[in-house]
Structure 1
Amino acid sequence: MKKAIKILGIFMVTFFAAVTIASCSRDDDPANNDFFAGTYRGSVSYNDGSTNTSTNDGSVFVTKIASGTKYNFAFSNDIPALNGIEFEQKGDNSLVMIGSSATSYIRIDNNELKILYLKDGKTWTANCTR
């Protein structure tokens, strides 16, 4: 009986820890955290003139790096990453890329990621949610 209670106790603690960790990550807001990591899912694409990759079932793993204003974007489907992109906070919960223009734009908040980024003849796009 003691062994069954011990196993049940371990299971309960493990279950509680897993639920707590999973639920906290979705509540994290990239604009308000010193450290941030989150996965956004939706449509992603990349075109460099010779390679054209596009999917509606892709993902972007976003991390805030040590500087506090720079972010890395790791794409699924063998799309090259965007690293060291600098942001400024707009409003309470949104970040907009510094140097945004009509041809390069990244906006991220707790629930949504939108990317249109052009550099050296290459184009990255994402329209994802979390």
Structure 2
Amino acid sequence: MKKLIQTLGLGMFILTVFIGFTSCSKDDDPADNDLFIGKYEGTISFDDLNDNGNDVSAAEGTVTVTKVGNSYNFAFGNSIPNLNGVDFEKKDNVLINIGSAGTGLIRIDAGKLTIGYTKDGKAWSADCQRK
């Protein structure tokens, strides 16, 4: 009986460890969880297509990603205006904002953020790594 209890205990331990390793994935969809919230550092820029005086040349900076409900907000450093209220399409960790005033692509995973996005005559870009 003691051997049976030890065997069952070992089996439960192995099952718990296996589930712990397989339940976390770098390929999680950002629309499903908060894994992608955080600070990213890299090259960022901004282009105001209507007023070149507001442009910010490409330079090292940060983007902080937050989530409110199902929408994501991107707070840029270097005096670049924030990009708020972006919804993710549930496919391959890629955001394509369809049916709104914005066009472009935002790709985000657990370690990298890439932005090429235009909305209301303004264009944001970022090539960043998680800090």
- Same-fold status (TM-score > 0.5): yes
Q: Which residue of 2 aligns with 1:113?
A: 113
CA distance in 1, matches of 2:74, 2:29: 13
Q: TM-score, normalised by structure 2?
A: 0.64
Instruction: Please list every run of at least 4 consecutive aligned residues from structure 1 whose deviation after the TM superposition is greater than 4 angstroms.
Output: none
Conserved? CA contact 2:38–2:64, under 8 Å = yes
**Structure 2 vs 1, CA of residues 36 and 51 (structure 1 numbering), >3 Å: closer, same or farther?**
same
**Secondary structure of the equivalent of 1:90?**
coil
Conserved? CA contact 2:42–2:127, under 8 Å = yes
CA distance in 2, matches of 1:128, 1:114: 6
Conserved? CA contact 1:40–1:59, under 8 Å = yes
Matched, 1:129 2:116: no
For structure 1, list consecutive stretches of 5 or more residues without a partner in the other structure: 1-26
**Secondary structure of the equivalent of 2:59?**
strand
Q: TM-score, normalised by structure 1?
A: 0.64
Structure showing greater radius of gyration is 2
State the identity as a percent: 46
CA distance in 1, matches of 2:78, 2:124: 12
CA distance in 2, matches of 1:60, 1:97: 19
**What are the within-5 Å matches in structure 2 for residues 12-23 of structure 1?**
none
Residue number among 51, 57, 60 corresponding to 1:57 in the alignment? 60
Conserved? CA contact 1:43–1:54, under 8 Å = no
Q: Which residue of 2 aligns with 1:71?
A: 72
Conserved? CA contact 1:35–1:65, under 8 Å = no
Q: Which residue of 2 aligns with 1:45?
A: 45
CA distance in 2, matches of 1:96, 1:119: 14
**Structure 2 vs 1, CA of residues 36 and 107 (structure 1 numbering), >3 Å: closer, same or farther?**
closer
Q: Which residue of 1 aligns with 2:19?
A: none
